[in-house]
Amino acid sequence: MYSEEFEKYQQFTELTIRNLSQQITMLEKKLDIFSNLLEISIYINQYLKDPNLFSLINDMLIGVFGAKQSAIYIKYEDAYQSAAQKTLEAADQDQIKLILEKKEESFIINSDNAIFANQRDIDVHSCMGVPVKVDNRLIAFILIQHQEKNYFTREHVLFLSLIGNHIGVAIENNFLYKQIMEHANKDGLTELFNKRYFFDTLHDISNIEELDYSLVIVDLDRFKQINDRYGHMTGDLALKTVAQILKKTTRSNDIIARYGGDEFIIFLVNFIDKEKVYKRVEAIREEIENTVIEYDSNRLSVTASFGIYIKHQERLTLEEVIGRADANMYQGKLGGRNRVVIND
């Protein structure tokens, strides 16, 4: 009798120990998840202001899941855009198509054949996707891929969803930071860069004194008379119109800023061919002169004087180059206005 009771007790004890062991294992897994989430959150927050934030997050996701590829797509209104690059490649189009086919819900796909036709580097046979939501708003989607079939599990999806919460907050904060910085760097009226941004950006170039470039000072002619005669609203429209022309007629890597009340400054990087620089600026001058500005019943056109200094194979500070371009601009003013003066 005692042996039977002892055997029952032993069985009960073993079962209890086994259950406790399973619970401990589950708790350890949960602790590992929370620990990993904490580390991931710290990592993401560390690079929140980094312009390469999403590339860094993709690299982190590849490391965390032992995957081959990762992609984050931001949702703007009804369309997805790659978070890490400006243009969508064929592979991106395939992945976005898959997201839409899965109705923007979490999924796992395993296939003997390659899942994506336009993958260049690897054939993907296992793919996991989860939506990124903030306050129940779908703001992005994460795709992680692997060459091996049956690589991802539902536990992977759960873990990625938890990470997605942190990524969602990072996306919102990153965009907010960019908006704040953009407003801080832009002139409120013309939406060109402001003077502070212009100098901060160029002073950050370590070899600016040795660099070859062209610099242009633009000053509207008799602008005070426009304000006095037509009013400041018309004057503001004239400034915005000229700013749009400057932006439209320069390259994306040139830096254009509002330098003063009716002055603008243009930094033409790696553009020092005198004939070509003069021709480009002269074309800008002509377009400004030929543009009719209309406000209420007012119709007018404005002109501008341009001073150019081409810095080539000489050591000069940015301020010295600006001074020389400014002197050329004033020479144009003295010569009758509405003209381009360039250094010999």
The predicted structure's pLDDT at residue 237: 96
Helix H or strand E segment including 26: helix 2-46
What's the alpha-carbon Rg for the chain, to the nearest Å? 31
Q: Which residue has the tokens 């703001």?
A: 139
The predicted structure's pLDDT at residue 140: 94
The class of domain 195-342 in CATH terms is: alpha beta
d(C-alpha 214, C-alpha 324), whole Å: 11
For residue 257, the cross-strand partners are 193, 265
Sheet holding 263-269, edge to edge: 255-258, 263-269, 213-220, 304-311, 340-342
Q: Where in the chain is the domain with CATH 3.30.70.270?
A: 195-342
The predicted structure's pLDDT at residue 14: 58
The predicted structure's pLDDT at residue 18: 60
Cβ contacts of 281 within 8 Å, gap of 6 or more = 216, 306, 308, 340, 342
pLDDT tens for the chain, 344 residues long, are 556 664 654 565 556 556 555 554 444 444 454 456 567 667 677 777 777 888 888 888 888 888 888 999 999 888 999 888 777 788 889 999 999 999 999 999 999 988 887 766 678 899 999 999 988 899 999 999 999 999 998 988 988 888 888 888 888 888 888 777 778 899 999 999 999 999 999 999 989 999 999 999 999 999 999 999 999 999 999 999 999 999 999 998 999 999 999 999 999 998 999 999 999 999 999 999 999 999 888 899 999 999 999 999 999 999 999 999 999 999 999 999 999 999 97
Q: In terms of C-beta distances under 8 Å and separation of at least 24 residues, what long-range contacts does 88-97 make, across chains too? A: 89/118, 90/118, 91/116, 91/118, 91/119, 91/120, 93/118, 94/118, 94/119, 95/71, 95/143
Helix H or strand E segment including 58: helix 53-65
Note whether 266 and 329 are within 8 A (CB). Answer: no
**Residue 290, Cβ density class (10 Å: 0-12 exposed, 13-18 middle, ≥19 buried):** exposed
Cβ contacts of 139 within 8 Å, gap of 6 or more = 74, 75, 132, 133, 168, 171, 172
Q: Which residue has the tokens 């002055």?
A: 263
The class of domain 47-184 in CATH terms is: alpha beta
Q: Which residue has the tokens 């301020």?
A: 319
Closest CA to 255 of 325, 328, 339, 185: 185
The predicted structure's pLDDT at residue 30: 46
d(C-alpha 198, C-alpha 186), whole Å: 10
**Backbone angles phi and psi of 86, in degrees to 5:** -80, -35
Q: Where in the chain is the domain with CATH 3.30.450.40?
A: 47-184
**Cα–chain-centroid distance for residue 238?**
30
Residue 103: left (phi > 0), alpha (psi -120 to 50), or beta? left
**Backbone angles phi and psi of 293, in degrees to 5:** -105, 125
